[in-house]
């Protein structure tokens, strides 16, 4: 399974209504006080998952090294392999 993980701290509107409001306004700095009250911002610390990162800028943030795709099962398997706990492997 592929998951998205933050390498550096990132912040973005929650998907759905919050993201729609921000995009419609043209950015977080252009929100009215009323719109701002409706928008929920997600703060993700380095090392935490951010699978719902906005698709529009996802590739840009990956290219900048701010977030990354992680193959979770493989990672877990690798960890287990390093510990010598994978069945059928020496």
Partner 1 sequence: MAGKYGSPHGFLLVDGYNLLAAKLASLRMKIIALQTPSHGIGDADEEHSPTGICRAEIVQEGGFWSTAALNIHAAMEGKIAAHTPQAVPRIVCLGFAEQIVGRQFSGFVGAFQGEYEVVAEGGDLQKANVTYLVTGKHEPGQIVQESGAQIEILTASAETPTTVTTAKPHRLANGQTCRIAGNSQATLNADNIATVVTPTTFTVPVDLSVAGAGAGGTVIQYNSADWDTEDQSVDWTVCPLNRAITILTSSAASPTVITTDVPHGLTNGQLVLIAGHSEGDANGEHVATVTSTTTFTIPVDLIAGGGTGGTLVQANTLAGAAGYQQVTEYADFDGVIGKLRDSPDDAAYGDLIVFTNVTSAPAKERKLSVIGTVDRYLAYNGDVTGAGNIIVFSGCSRL
The residues binding partner 1 (CB under 8 A) are 8-13, 19, 22-23, 26-31, 33, 36, 41, 46, 53-54, 56-57, 60-61, 64-67
Residue with tokens 């960890």: 79
Give 5 or 31: the residue with its C-beta nearer to partner 1.
Answer: 31
Q: Measured from the CB atom, is 65 or 88 closer to partner 1? A: 65
Q: How far is the CB of 64 from partner 1 (least distance, A)?
A: 6
3-state secondary structure (DSSP) of residue 33: helix
Q: Which two tokens stand for residue 40?
A: 């929920």
């Amino acid at each position: 399974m592929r998951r998205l993980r933050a390498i550096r701290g990132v912040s973005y509107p929650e998907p759905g209504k919050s993201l729609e409001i921000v995009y419609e306004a043209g950015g977080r700095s252009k929100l009215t006080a009323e719109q701002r009250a409706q928008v929920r911002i997600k703060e993700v610390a380095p090392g935490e998952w951010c699978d719902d990162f906005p698709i529009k800028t996802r590739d840009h943030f990956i290219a900048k090294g701010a977030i990354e795709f992680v193959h979770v099962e493989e990672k877990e398997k690798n960890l287990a392999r390093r510990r010598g706990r994978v069945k059928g492997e020496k």
